[in-house]
Amino acid sequence: MKKVIALGFILVLCIFLAFFVFASGGKDDKGKVADKGPEPVELVVWWWGESEAPGLEAWMNETVAMFEAEYPHIDVETLLQAVDNVIDDFTTASAAGSPPDVQFLWNGVYHQENVWRGYLEPLNNLLTPEELKHMYATDLSIYKGQQYRIGWYVVPFGMVYNRELFKQAGLSDPPELWEWDDFIDACEQLKRAGITPLGFGFKDGWWGEWYTALTIYQQADEIEDIAKLITGENKWTNPRWHEHWKRAYQLIEAGYVNDDANSLAHYQGIELFNADKVAMSTTVGSLVGEAEKSLGAENVGLTNFPRFGTGSFRDLPLTDIQGWGVSAQSKHKEEATEFLRFMHRPDRLSAQFKMANVFPADDRWQGEKEITNPNIKLMWKWFKGGSAVYLPNMIPWTFDSEVMFTAPQFFMSGTHTPEGVGQLAEDVMGRWREENPDLYESMKIWFNL
Amino acid sequence: MSSGMLRSHGDYGKKALIQLFFFVMVIVAVYPLFWMIITSFKTQEAYLANKYNLPWPIMLKNIISSFRGGKFARWFLNSILVTFGATLVTTVLACFAAYAFARMPFKGSNTILNFIIALMVVPPVVMIVPLFILYNQFKLHSTYHGIILLYTGITQPFSVYLLTNFFKTIPRDMVEAAMIDGCSKLGILFRIFIPLSRAALVTLFITQALWIWNELLIALIFLAKDEMRTLMVGITAFRTKYMLDIPVIMAGLLMSTLPMLILYALFQKAFIKGLTEGSTKG
Amino acid sequence: MLKYKWWESLLFLAPTLLVILFVFGYPLFRVFDFSTRRIRGASGPFIGLDNYRFVLRAPVFQLAVKHNLFLLVGVPIMVLLALIIAALLFEQLRGWRFYRFCLFIPYIVAIPVIGVIFGYMLSLHGVINELLEKVGLGFLAFDWLGNPKLSLKTILIIVVWKEVGFGMILFLARLMNVSSDLYEAAKIDGANWWQALWYITIPQLRLVIEFFAVISMVNLIAWVFSYVYVITNGGPANSTQVIELWIFNKVSRGAPNPGMGAAASVLLLVVSSVFIFILLKLRLKIGEE
């Protein structure tokens, strides 16, 4: 009897599986009717961004559908990656000889290390200089005079605060350019009113990088200052260059940060703000919409990350640009380029803003006409008015996992002091130079932009 | 009816203590799964409000969302294919090899055997760097045959060890009798050794299948393409993508675990028997 | 005895030998070579023993080694726990079959599944801590996975939770073969439960205990990767970094340096071999006595 039940179960399981396999596999059969016209092409696109800009996935699906309708012989296969492996997978796949055709790329060293390994195609071979200018993706996408990325969306950084909770603590709206001491006072008042001032997630480390990005440029007078930190001319042990970690330490020690930061991933930390559990969090433009959805638009205020620095960039806001690249090993570079162009068509740019709340990285898009939300208008003003460079983009990736990611974790658990982290940073940098002399050479060339 | 140190009647104090012990142990063992199940039926809000109560109302939509978010069926299929394929191949190869080692020794064969057995302790991570590069060159990445080959290789040492030990215990007179009857070497293998080793073969099959099914490191590196992912790799990827919606993640986990659990519940005796019988001899 | 020619034997061995040469032979040979190069792509320039120097001086690697060694503490814990549970089950009190069924379930469930579940359950404001507070044990509500001083021990607990079931089953099966006369005699002699465990059960189960201990040890060095990768990814603050994860990161994470990964692999191999060699020697010695 048991045997019968078992066999029956296995049979049901097989039918169940077959159903789902065929249900999800159906998509591949679309558009294979090519008997005349150009050869069928499968374009593989790996990307990220839904967690940073909810709504992008819907935009992507819509764009792909429209693209395939216009180019019936091209079948676009997209894969949404996770934040931890979107770039890694590309590097690994390139090493294995089977990378995607179109790849989403973060700015700076993240894609540059792939450039130096020869995995990315110079877009100057594929797009006109006009187009490259319109779809600009910051100077950091350029190596030896060639541009390796076009922009996709702009990431303006800021700090959201909960107006309701601020009122409860007797605080008025912070100014656009908040001074550190005033910020600390506000945190103290919030804490006294029983409200957790700041909500962050340290577990997967990305916040540590955001934090360094938001603060280290405040100490810099020119971009070369950071380059010098990598070559060793400037030392991380110099208090000027670990001042920002001192400030982070201060925030954590004073108890202004949620106590479970070490168990929460980066986006879970931001979620705390949306869930009305904390008064402030660091955020990017595209996530402000989510906060407004959860808390009500009138309740969400936007300001810059507080200022403490003494460098010449100190008062600038921060923005970065996410972009696309084409794999050097792609066999369909023409089609890939068409897809890139398609994504930058005017209607697509508008749709991008409407569906995902992100500024398209294309100077032909007219933000002033399309933005209505006051918070987003503010970020547009910051973007257009000139912003600082996302400096961790210049620092070798090893530095992320060994220093930037771990610093807040260290402070939360009390295992390192800010000076200790400064020393650690110097050590890591020195070791990197010794262990990767070839990448170091490429990096030096890159900095002479 | 007690077989241990306690008397059949009496010793009630001790018995009560032991029952309490097991009560606690069972809760510890089963609670995480129980929690996974009740959470997968909650909405996000219900979960955030209260993490440990029973779900009400019961939401089935999490399960549907999880299917859309992750190709669970595909990953499941991949795991089955890879596990079954590799376990089958490794068992077959081990049968032949064990036969040779046990019954057809030659000068130096024992050394080879010891060497192969020693390989059991090599951590697979040691091999990934050269193999990764080799697989690049031979385009074996993200292929079924590529990974089956890999898993087969890694499980050979243990399989050969287990079966050789077992084959050595097959009584010689049976072999003699078969030889006299004019049975070929292959015939002896198939007609005598294999039928008699059923217990060991089952143990081997189950232990290796379980190991390969659960394996993560190699699958992560050598099966990078999403359609090729095994269930284990898929689950880890799924979790990072949906890290904010915990009930949906739990629903996905539930779907992945259910088949194995049901199999275990139905075939409990065979499972346990298979795992233990072949390994308690010699 | 079978009549055969030596090359016929080799024929039977051929498939196995080929596969092993491919999967073990080639890599083991190559990994030594790679460890002396700066690998970019398929190969790279020779740099002598630099990789070993880099590996041994890397603070995170040193931490990883410490952690792996610490985790080995789990072996005696698992053996003892499995023994006690098996011995208690052996008493065959009412419901023992049900208990056995339940206690084996953790072993069946896949590691990533367990990893994800425990990851959420043990977070600072997760279910476990909430329940502890509810029953008034709030002082026990630690940050199990977020506090670097606790995280590795928590991982150890999770591993033990999962793996004990296997030992339990093994020991119980073997116990069933032990003659109950031994226990009867012990009872008559007035021995208590612990004495029986120590002087009868353990000696009787010696071989199985050894089998389980060896498997557990190999698993703790090799399988810990899955737990750590899924639950903490080496953090927080590198407190759960283990050698396998470190090597994995050197091969396929953002800043790959496969040469260093190879060097670390060689070191791991050498140490494992020495370890096992010592164990085997010990075993032979004990066997002789």
DSSP run (H or E) holding B163:
helix B144-168
Measured between alpha carbons, how far is residue B22 from residues A149, C160, C248 in Å? Answer: 61, 17, 39
B96 and B232 fall within a common domain: yes
Lowest mean pLDDT of A78-87, A279-288, B33-42, name the range: A78-87
Are B132 and C251 inside 8 Å of each other by CB? yes
Q: A41-155+319-384: which CATH number, 2.130.10.10, 3.40.50.1370, 3.40.50.460, 3.40.190.10?
A: 3.40.190.10
Q: Please tell me the predicted confidence (pLDDT) of residue C284.
A: 67
B34 and B96 fall within a common domain: no
pLDDT above 90 covers what percent of chain A?
49
B18 and B109 fall within a common domain: no
User: Does this complex have an ipTM over 0.90?
Assistant: no
Q: Please tell me the predicted confidence (pLDDT) of residue A35.
A: 47
CA distance C49 to chain A (A): 12
List the one residue out of A45, A114, A53 whose CA is nearest residue A81. A45
B74 and B199 fall within a common domain: yes
- Whether B45 maps to a domain, the answer reads no
B116 and B201 fall within a common domain: yes
- CATH number for the domain spanning B123: value is 1.10.3720.10
Residue B210's φ and ψ, nearest 5 degrees, are: -60, -45
- Whether B49 maps to a domain, the answer reads no
* C139-165: average pLDDT: 90
pTM over 0.90: no
Set of chain B residues whose Cβ sits within 8 Å of the Cβ of C3:
179
- Whether B64 maps to a domain, the answer reads no
Q: Which chains touch B (3 or more CB pairs under 8 A)?
A: A, C
Are C254 and A438 inside 8 Å of each other by CB? no
Lowest mean pLDDT of A15-24, A224-233, B3-12, B96-105, name the range: A15-24
Task: For chain B, positions 60-79, list CB contacts with chain A under 8 A.
Answer: 67, 71-74, 76-77
- Whether B238 maps to a domain, the answer reads yes
| Of A148-152, A390-394, C26-30, highest mean pLDDT | A148-152
Set of chain B residues whose Cβ sits within 8 Å of the Cβ of A84:
240
B119 and B193 fall within a common domain: yes
CA distance A43 to chain C (A): 24
**Whether residue A190 has pLDDT greater than 90:** yes
Q: How far apart are CA C208 and CA C258, in angstroms?
A: 39
DSSP run (H or E) holding B134:
helix B125-137
pLDDT above 90 covers what percent of chain B?
15
**In sequence order, which residues have a C-beta less than 8 Å from that of residue B51 and are 6 or more positions away?**
B39, C126, C127, C130
List the one residue out of A327, A305, A448 whose CA is nearest residue A390. A305
Q: Provide the pairing of β-strand A196-198 with A146-147.
A: unpaired
* A137-155: average pLDDT: 90
Q: Please tell me the predicted confidence (pLDDT) of residue A418.
A: 94
Lowest mean pLDDT of A291-300, B34-43, C205-214, name the range: C205-214
B17 and B141 fall within a common domain: no
Query: Does any CB of chain C come closer than 8 Å to the CB of residue B160?
Result: yes
CA distance C288 to chain B (A): 18
What value does the mean pLDDT of chain A take?
87
Task: For chain B, positions 133-172, list CB contacts with chain A under 8 A.
Answer: 135-136, 139, 141-142
Q: Please tell me the predicted confidence (pLDDT) of residue A211.
A: 94
Domain boundaries, chain A: 41-155+319-384, 157-318+390-447
Strand pairing partners for A319? Answer: A156
Shortest CB distance from C2 goes to which of B6, B136, B185?
Answer: B185
Q: Please tell me the predicted confidence (pLDDT) of residue C289.
A: 43
**pLDDT tens profile B222-234:** 887 777 888 888 8
Tokens of A223: 């971009």
Strand pairing partners for A320? Answer: A155
Q: Distance between alpha carbon C239 and the CA centroid of its chain, in Å?
A: 18
Are B73 and A271 inside 8 Å of each other by CB? no
Cβ atoms of A6 and B266 within 8 Å: the answer is: yes
Cβ atoms of A239 and A423 within 8 Å: the answer is: no
Q: B184-207 b/e with 16+ CB inside 10 Å = b?
A: ebeebbeebbbebbebbbbbbbbb
- Burial zone of A255 (CB within 10 Å; 0-12 exposed, 13-18 middle, 19+ buried): middle
**Whether residue B73 has pLDDT greater than 90:** no
Q: How far apart are CA C242 and CA C254, in angstroms?
A: 18
Query: Does any CB of chain B come closer than 8 Å to the CB of residue A26?
Result: no
Strand pairing partners for A280? Answer: A161, A198
Are A93 and B224 inside 8 Å of each other by CB? yes
| Of B110-119, C149-158, C245-254, highest mean pLDDT | C149-158
**pLDDT tens profile C100-141:** 899 999 988 888 899 999 988 998 888 899 888 888 888 888
- Burial zone of A14 (CB within 10 Å; 0-12 exposed, 13-18 middle, 19+ buried): exposed
Set of chain A residues whose Cβ sits within 8 Å of the Cβ of C239:
413
Q: Give the 3-state secondary structure of residue C46.
A: strand
Are A406 and C58 inside 8 Å of each other by CB? no
B101 and B223 fall within a common domain: yes
Query: Does any CB of chain C come closer than 8 Å to the CB of residue B266?
Result: no
Amino acid of residue C194 = W
Strand pairing partners for A147? Answer: A142
Enter the DSSP assignment of C72.
T
| Of A79-93, A152-166, B58-72, B94-108, highest mean pLDDT | A152-166
Counted residue by residue, chain C has a size of 289
Shortest CB distance from C254 goes to which of A397, A427, A431?
Answer: A397
Q: How far apart are CA B125 and CA C243, in angstroms?
A: 9
Q: Which chains touch A (3 or more CB pairs under 8 A)?
A: B, C
Cβ atoms of B130 and C31 within 8 Å: the answer is: yes
- Burial zone of C179 (CB within 10 Å; 0-12 exposed, 13-18 middle, 19+ buried): exposed
Shortest CB distance from A95 goes to which of C41, C143, C148?
Answer: C41
Measured between alpha carbons, how far is residue B91 from residues B96, B98, B155, C26 in Å? Answer: 9, 10, 9, 22
Query: Does any CB of chain C come closer than 8 Å to the CB of residue B32?
Result: yes
CA distance C111 to chain A (A): 20
Q: How far apart are CA B111 and CA A187, in angstroms?
A: 71
B124 and B9 fall within a common domain: no
- Whether B63 maps to a domain, the answer reads no
* A21-37: average pLDDT: 42
Q: Which domain holds residue B21?
A: 3-40
B229 and B172 fall within a common domain: yes
Tokens of A73: 């012989």
Are A6 and B266 inside 8 Å of each other by CB? yes
Set of chain C residues whose Cβ sits within 8 Å of the Cβ of A438:
38, 40
Are C105 and B96 inside 8 Å of each other by CB? no
Q: Please tell me the predicted confidence (pLDDT) of residue B282.
A: 37
List the one residue out of A343, A389, A436 whose CA is nearest residue A157. A389
**pLDDT tens profile B87-96:** 999 999 999 9
SS3 of chain A: the string is: CHHHHHHHHHHHHHHHHHHHHHHHHHHHHCCCCCCCCCCCEEEEEEECCCCCCCCHHHHHHHHHHHHHHHCCCEEEEEEECCCCCHHHHHHHHHHHCCCCCEEEECCCHHHHHHHHCCCECCHHHCCCHHHHHHCCCCHHHEECCEECCEEEEEEEEEEEEEHHHHHHCCCCCCCCCCEHHHHHHHHHHHHHCCCEEECCCCCCCHHHHHHHHHHHHHHCCCCHHHHHHHHCCCCCCCHHHHHHHHHHHHHHHCCCECCCHHHCCHHHHHHHHHCCCEEEEEEEHHHHHHHHHHHCHHHEEEECCCECCCCCCCCCCEEEEEEEEEECCCCCHHHHHHHHHHHCCHHHHHHHHHHHCCEECCCCCCHHHHCCCHHHHHHHHHHHCCCECCHHHHCCHHHHHHHHCHHHHHHHHCCCCHHHHHHHHHHHHHHHHHHCHHHHHHHHHHHCC
B24 and B160 fall within a common domain: no
Lowest mean pLDDT of A339-348, C64-73, C264-273, name the range: C264-273
Q: How far apart are CA B155 and CA B138, in angstroms?
A: 22
pLDDT above 70 covers what percent of chain B?
91
Cβ atoms of A430 and C253 within 8 Å: the answer is: no
CA distance A150 to chain C (A): 21
Are B132 and A6 inside 8 Å of each other by CB? no
**Whether residue A235 has pLDDT greater than 90:** yes
B33 and B128 fall within a common domain: no
> What fold is seen in the domain A157-318+390-447?
D-Maltodextrin-Binding Protein; domain 2 (3.40.190)
**Whether residue C209 has pLDDT greater than 90:** no
Tokens of A294: 């959860």
Q: How far apart are CA A111 and CA A350, in angstroms?
A: 27
Are B275 and C91 inside 8 Å of each other by CB? no
The number of domains in chain B is 2
Are B253 and C104 inside 8 Å of each other by CB? no
**pLDDT tens profile B202-217:** 878 887 888 888 888 8
**Which one of B66, B71, B240 would you mutate to disrupt binding with A, by most A Cβ within 10 Å of its Cβ?**
B240
CA distance A54 to chain B (A): 12
Are B4 and C12 inside 8 Å of each other by CB? no
Q: Give the 3-state secondary structure of residue C40.
A: strand
Shortest CB distance from A98 goes to which of B73, B74, B141?
Answer: B141
Task: For chain B, positions 53-92, list CB contacts with chain C under 8 A.
Answer: none
* C214-239: average pLDDT: 83
- Burial zone of A26 (CB within 10 Å; 0-12 exposed, 13-18 middle, 19+ buried): exposed
Neighbour count for residue C245 (Cβ, 10 Å): 25
CA distance B243 to chain C (A): 10
Amino acid of residue A281 = S
Q: How far apart are CA B128 and CA C68, in angstroms?
A: 19
Q: Please tell me the predicted confidence (pLDDT) of residue A32.
A: 43
What value does the mean pLDDT of chain B take?
81
Are A431 and C54 inside 8 Å of each other by CB? yes
List the one residue out of C146, C117, C150 whose CA is nearest residue C232. C146
Shortest CB distance from C236 goes to which of A92, A262, A436?
Answer: A262
Enter the DSSP assignment of B228.
G
